[in-house]
Amino acid sequence: DDTLTLDLGGFTYTGTIFPSFYVGFSPGATADLTVMNGTLTGAPVYIGWNAGSTGTLSVLGSSTTWTTSGSAFSVGLFGNGTLLIADGAGVSCDVMFVAANENSVGNANVSGLGSTLVVADALLVGRGGDGSLSINAAGVVSVASGATIGAFAGSQGDLNVTSAGSE
**DSSP code string of 49-91:** -STT-EEEEEEEEEEEEEEEEEEEEEESSSSEEEEEEETT-EE
Cα-trace Rg, the chain: 14
Question: pLDDT grade, residue 71 (50/70/90)?
Answer: confident
pLDDT at residue number 131? 98
Task: Categorize the per-residue pLDDT at 163 as very low, low, confident or very high, splitting at 50, 70 and 90.
Answer: confident
Residue 55 CA to residue 106 CA, distance in Å, equals 10
* 51-68 mean pLDDT: 96
pTM > 0.85: yes or no: yes
Average pLDDT in the 14-25 region? 80
Q: Is 16 exposed, middle or buried (0-12, 13-18, 19+ CB in 10 A)?
A: exposed
Question: 105 has which bridge partners?
Answer: 80, 130
pLDDT at 11 over 80: yes
